[in-house]
Structure 1
Amino acid sequence: MYLHTQLLINEIAADEPDPAAANALQEGLGGQFGEMRTMMQYLFQSMNFRGDAASKPYKDLLQGIGTEEISHVELIGTTISQLLDGSPRYQGKKSDPVDQPGAGGATPLKIALDTSNIHHYLVGAQGALPVDAAGNPWSGSYVYNSGNLVLDLLYNLMLESTGRLQKCRIYEMTENKTARSTIAYLIVRDQAHENAYAKALESLGVNWGKVLPIPKTNAEQFPEVKKLLDKGLQSIQYTFSADNLSEAGKLYRGASPSNDGTELSTDVMPEGFPITISPERKEEFAPGLDPELLALIQATAEQEMKEADSPKEAKPAATKKK
């Protein structure tokens, strides 16, 4: 079973809307090496896992990382929505051609015609979509689950390495603080997962360093990334095991495969950050509850509570006919 804590796994920095950055981030969400793919791949590998009791740490490692990837989908999807929300009234640089596109009687959603992905406005109502940066729908064919532990771990290490490489490229595409706060966090967590799969392969006698060296991206040059690396976030793995029965810690320990002088360790889950609900967007015909409907719901709820609290009348006993 899964439990959902209503907290984001990382804090999203506030900044101006940036629909172009939102579209670039779609690759990190619904692309071939994005968060939707890692989430589904690791969960399917853990669900289909075969082996004896000695194999449990590997299953638990896949389960824990797959569960974390659910929170990454939530984080990056929320970030995309935040980058899009209110963009028709974008208040960017005065020289920016999309500055205040709705002013002076202009068409409210005109920005959708010439800025990034039109489906963010036409289909998503200024929200994230399960697509890549080119608008291609996410595909289940991305998921790799061979049933062979070594092959799956090698493939997962490659997946995390490529995902981190792409996120470093996306980071270089935008200066937006909202986008970079999420991108930096995912870069560091991808490294943590690279460490996890590298350590698991080492325990199986696989010299992964000669087969698939982790690509060096020098991501520590990014200030947001360095701040997280200094906290050691690249060397901790969460189990998300509410009953504390995960054995992933048997694998995720010892010196980090990243050779950065840190020691690997596990924890149940991070503290998290508050989630807020986005405002209504009337230009998208996307309101919340209609006021009259809301009043009806509240009145009905009050009546049901009143009936539940009132004592029930005793029914007269039935008499038997002779």
Structure 2
Amino acid sequence: MYFHLQNLINPIEQDEPDPAAANALQEGLGGQFGEMRTMMQYLFQSINFRGANAKPYKDLIQGIGTEEISHVELIGTTIARLLDGSPEYRGKPDDPVDLPGARGATPLNIALDHGNIHHYLVGAQGALPVDAVGNPWSGSYVYNSGNLVLDLLYNLMLESTGRLQKCRLYEMTDNKTARSTISYLIVRDQAHENAYARALETLGVNWRTALPIPKTSAERFPEVKRLLDLGLQSKQYSFDLGDQSEAGRIFQGISPSDDGTQLDATEQAPEGVPIQIAPERPEEFSPGADPELMALIEATAAMEMADIDATFGKLG
């Protein structure tokens, strides 16, 4: 079972809307080496895993796959925030539809020549399951051979390539909203590289001669350096509420990154930060909920919360 804590795994800095940066970030979400790919690849590998004696490797892959769900949430939310808001638009929900912006400004004109027009036409200023040129995410990206060594090698290559692309994304924008998420994902990709590299070493595979972790010099990015100084590249979380994960039997010892840190798998999950729901966007007719519908939504939410309280007890 999977549970959702309504926190983002990392804070997102505030900055101006930037549809071009949002479109570039789509590659990190729905591209061949993006977060949707890592999430699905690791979860399918863990679902299909065979061999009870190799459980620590299953737990390691499943823990990383679970974290990748939160990465999809983080980068998708970042894309939405980069899209949220239209220049000169100061409309209110009760404004007449034929005068949508201040002084009659056209509220969605930015969609015509910035980034991906589908962010506005289809996504209501939100993320889409596509890459940076609009190609839909494909399940054919997922690699799951069933052979542990092959899967770990492929996972190491996937994390290495993903980190390389995120370093390029960082160089493409100075938007603080984008960079706060990109820098976090760069460091966590390195942590996952360390995990798969160490797993291969425990199996006697000399991965360094065939697949060196790329030297991206990412530590020169100030946001990345701050996270590296905190040792985030050497932590791996279990996301295991039952405290049954054996991934710590693998994720231990000196880091394969040769940065002098020790690998640490003692934490269940990072603390995270509260999720803030984005404001309504009347120019997108989103959510388009009239008073009667809002009343129904609130009544339904109250019923669902009562059911949760009855099943799990009241949450603090």
* Shared fold (TM-score, shorter chain, > 0.5): yes
SS of the residue 1:87 aligns to:
coil
Distance 2:302 2:154 in 1: 55
Partner residue in 1 for 2:123: 124
Letter in 1 for 2:289: L
Deviation at 1:66, TM superposition (A): 0.2
Which residue matches 1:233? 232
1:42 corresponding residue in structure 2: 42
Query: For residue 97 of structure 1, what is the aligned residue in structure 2?
Result: none
The separation in 2 between residues aligned to 1:257 and 1:301, in whole angstroms, is: 47
Matching of residue 222 in structure 1 with residue 221 in structure 2? yes
Shift of 1:290: 1.4
**CA deviation after TM superposition for structure 1 residue 106, in Å:** 3.5
* Equivalent in the alignment of 1:13: 13
Alpha-carbon separation, structure 2, partners of 1:188 and 1:294: 41
Residues 113 and 41 of structure 1: is their aligned pair in 2 closer, same or farther, counting only changes over 3 Å? same
Match of 2:31 in 1: 31
1:264-312 alpha-carbon deviations (Å, 9 max, x no partner) = 0111100010101111111111135312333466689999xxxxxxxxx
Aligned counterpart, 2:59:
60
Give me the whole-angstrom Cα distance separating, in 2, the residues matched to 1:300 and 1:153: 44
Determine the structure 1 residue equivalent to 2:270: 270
8 Å contact from structure 2 (residues 89, 107) kept in 1: no
Cα distance change on mapping 1:296 and 1:192 into 2, 3 Å: closer
Corresponding residue number in structure 1 for 2:136: 137
Aligned mates of 1:236, 1:136 — CA distance in 2: 33
Find the counterpart in structure 1 of residue 83 from structure 2.
84
User: 2 CA distance for matches of 1:299 and 1:129?
Assistant: 30
Distance of 2:129 and 2:202 partners within structure 1: 36
Shift of 1:211: 1.0
Cα distance, 1:109 vs. partner? 1.1
Q: What per-residue deviation string (whole Å, max 9, x for no partner) do you get for residues 247-276 of structure 1? A: 000000000000000000111100010101
TM-aligned CA distance change 1:39 to 1:295, over 3 Å:
closer
Deviations 1:168-198 (A, max 9, x none): 0000000000000000000000000000000
| Partner of residue 172, structure 1 | 171
With over 3 angstroms needed to count, the CA separation of the structure-2 counterparts of 1:177 and 1:148, relative to structure 1, is same
CA distance in 1 between counterparts of 2:196 and 2:141 reads 19
Match for 1:258: what amino acid? S
- Could you report, residue by residue, the CA deviation over 1:136-176 in whole angstroms, capped at 9, with x for unpaired residues? 00000000000000000000000000000000000000000
- Structure 2 vs 1, CA of residues 109 and 151 (structure 1 numbering), >3 Å: closer, same or farther? same
Q: Deviations over 1:189-208 (max 9, x none)?
A: 00000000000000000000
- Cα pair 1:16 1:90 within 8 Å, conserved: no
Q: Distance in 1 between matches of 2:301 and 2:48?
A: 44
Instruction: Please give the alpha-carbon distance, in whole angstroms, between the structure 2 residues aligned to 1:277 and 1:297.
Output: 15
CA distance in 1, matches of 2:300, 2:175: 45
**For the pair shown, which has the larger CA radius of gyration, 1 or 2?**
1
Deviations 1:227-254, CA, capped at 9 Å, x for gaps: 0000000000000010100000000000
2:101–2:107 CA contact under 8 A, matched in 1: yes
- Structure 1 residues 107 and 242, CA, compared in 2 at 3 Å: closer, same or farther? same
TM (norm. structure 1) is: 0.87
Assess, with a 3 A threshold, how the Cα gap between structure 1 residues 301 and 168 changes in structure 2: closer, same or farther: closer
Q: Residue 4 of structure 2 corresponds to which residue in structure 1?
A: 4
Q: Distance in 2 between matches of 1:274 and 1:204?
A: 40
The aligned counterpart of 1:313 is none
Q: 1:102 touches 1:109 (CA, 8 Å); kept in 2? A: no
Q: Is the 8 A contact 1:18 1:87 kept in 2?
A: no
- TM-score by length of structure 2 reads 0.89
Q: Is the 8 A contact 2:162 2:189 kept in 1?
A: yes
Q: What is aligned with 2:212?
A: 213
Whether contact under 8 Å (2:86, 2:107) holds in the other structure is no
The reply on whether 1:113 has 2:112 as its aligned counterpart is yes
Matching residue's letter, 2:107 = P
2:197 maps to what in 1? 198
Q: The residue matched to 1:172 in structure 2 has which SS? A: helix
